[in-house]
């Protein structure tokens, strides 16, 4: 008596998830087709992540905000102008200041940035912590 096994190529359709926001696609991920490259996107942190990887991803996205970019450039220029150079072993030696953290990952923080396809995967990976809207 031979038993039949289901084919590996035959897959059953998963039921659609309910209760998701309109900004998700059929797979449950962020639907990036509603955004065009160069479009201004507003992101707000709804829940602070606990893992360091997610915090770093959100900080990297926050650094794309024009105001934060401007602040980072200004602080870099000031650190270079006020660089402490002293003599050590008959050589010029520098002691650099630590970089200030302008972008902070905390609940309620928001920023704007231009959407680009290179950040779509980053946005998808942290979408559970963010509220993303156009404009």
Position 41 scores a pLDDT of 94
- Tell me the three state secondary structure of residue 44: strand
Q: Are 121 and 61 in contact (CB under 8 A)?
A: no
**18-40 pLDDT, tens digit each:** 433 435 555 566 777 888 999 99
Position 21 scores a pLDDT of 44
What's the pLDDT band for 9 if we cut at 50, 70, 90?
low
The per-residue pLDDT of the chain, averaged, comes to 84
Chain-centroid distance, C-alpha 12:
34
Comparing 29-33, 60-64, 68-72, 98-102, the range with the smallest average pLDDT is 29-33
**91-129 pLDDT, tens digit each:** 999 998 998 889 999 999 999 999 999 999 999 999 999
DSSP 47: S
Query: pLDDT over 90 for what percent of the chain?
Result: 68
Q: How far apart are CA 68 and CA 102, in angstroms?
A: 7
């Amino acid at each position: 008596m031979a038993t039949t096994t289901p084919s590996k190529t035959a897959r059953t359709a998963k039921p659609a998830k309910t209760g998701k926001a309109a900004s998700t696609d059929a797979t449950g991920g962020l639907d990036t087709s509603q955004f065009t490259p160069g479009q201004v996107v507003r992101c707000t942190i709804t829940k602070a992540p606990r893992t360091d990887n997610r915090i770093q991803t959100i900080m990297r996205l926050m650094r794309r905000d024009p105001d934060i970019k401007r602040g980072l450039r200004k602080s870099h220029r000031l650190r270079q102008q006020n660089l402490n150079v002293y003599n050590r072993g008959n050589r010029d030696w520098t002691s650099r200041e630590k970089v200030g953290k302008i972008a902070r990952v905390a609940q309620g923080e928001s920023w704007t940035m231009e959407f680009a396809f290179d950040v779509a995967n980053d946005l998808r990976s942290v979408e559970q912590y963010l509220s993303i809207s156009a404009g």
